[in-house]
Structure 1
Amino acid sequence: MENQRMTHIAVERNRRKQMNEYLSVLRGLMPHSYVQKGDQASIIGGAINYVKELEQKLHFLGGNKHYTTSRDNSIMVSENHELAMADIEVTMVESHANLKIRSKRRPKQLLKMVSGLQSLRLTILHLNVTTVHQIVLYSLSLKVEDDCKLSSVDEIATAVNQMLGRIQQEAVLI
């Protein structure tokens, strides 16, 4: 009986060691912003969110174009012509918004977008930029400030679309 107990303890110790090694590798594969704490639940939750974002980037960069409004308070606006303006996806939870923009690369586009978002009273908390040839995907985590006049995903998507239209017009004039 004692020998069986000691075997069980050794097996359990090895399982925990292996689990901790896997969690350490998993944590190392993700950007630091996805794991705020070092506990197992935070690492796994961060990994789930990171994989979801990578799936969205893959989908976005793949060129699938459509317009959807879903029950989870999100909206995706896509242009019908080939990336003339941008594909925009906005999701909101309370006073935080996630914004994904896929567009052609243009001179000083990121600088103008940051400035434009600030003027809309949308504070950038996190920004990720992915490029493939002349296509760029911006993934932004935003804080909707109390004095922001935009209160829905539709309003944010429309304002961002208008801002990108101005940026495109300026790029054509250069």
Structure 2
Amino acid sequence: MNDYLGVLKSMMPASYVQRGDQASIIGGAIDYVKELEQLLQSLEARKITGRSSENPTDSSIFSGFFYFPQYSTSSTTHHRCAVAGGESKTSASVNVEVTVVESHANLKILTKKKPKQVLKMVNGIQSLGFLVLHLNVTSVENLVLYSFSVKIEDGCKATTVNETAEAVYEMVDRFEEESADQLS
């Protein structure tokens, strides 16, 4: 085990490992992988927009980041939203993917970029009963991809994948409605 931890420590910058104990090495490796993931998302988005002569604001820019979205917008003008289980809902342009492992979850939210949206997203996620551990934000043109790593707090009502996806979807939809009301 110590040999593997030594190899892991040697593969990342020293700034990610403050102490030499096992927990620090593993924690630093997790942080480093998250940073690399965010960098990869940014580079892939730039690569796609650089070579795409089509509409670079299309959500297909980020399509590779969603493996099994619970809620994803179709490309029709009605903006119908496919929901896990075969239902569908009317939606603003948003994609939500949730993975849950024990008391932790990863949330990916793709939506149109709006002013002060990052603050609204973080506050909204916290108000749902999640503790934000890590956030990556990648934006291209008028789209933004939020990747949250969260801890599900005690008393959180959304504990399953579908409950969490539904709650996040409704939160983003509410932001869209509030934004439209402010414009009118």
Instruction: Spell out, residue by residue over 1:91-121, the C-alpha distance to the aligned partner (whole angstroms, 9 max, x if none).
Output: 1110100111111101222222222212211
Aligned to 2:13, which of 28, 40, 64?
A: 28
Distance change (3 Å), C-alpha of 1:48 and 1:141: closer
CA distance in 1, matches of 2:64, 2:70: 9
**TM-score, normalised relative to structure 1:** 0.64
1:15 corresponds to = none
Give the letter for the 1:81 counterpart: S
74, 79, 87: which is aligned to 2:73? 79
Q: What SS is found at the alignment partner of 1:148?
A: coil
Contact 1:68 1:77 (C-alpha < 8 Å) held by counterparts: no
Unaligned stretches of 5+ residues in structure 2: 1-5, 46-58, 80-91
Please say which structure displays the higher CA radius of gyration: 1
Q: How does 1:5-44 map to 2 (within 5 A)?
A: 24=10, 26-28=11-13, 32=16, 42=26
Please tell me whether the aligned partners of residues 85 and 164 of structure 1 are also in contact (alpha carbons under 8 angstroms).
no
Percent of aligned positions with the same letter in both sequences?
Answer: 40
What TM-score, normalized by structure 2, do the two folds share?
Answer: 0.61
Shift of 1:147: 0.4
Aligned pairs, how many?
Answer: 146
Measured after TM superposition, the shift of residue 150 of structure 1 is 0.8
Structure 2: how far apart are the matches of 1:79 and 1:166? 16
| Aligned with residue 155 of structure 1, among 145, 148, 163 | 163
1:123 deviation in Å? 1.1
Q: Matched residues in 2 for 1:126 and 1:44: separation? A: 13
Q: Give me the CA root mean square deviation.
A: 3.8
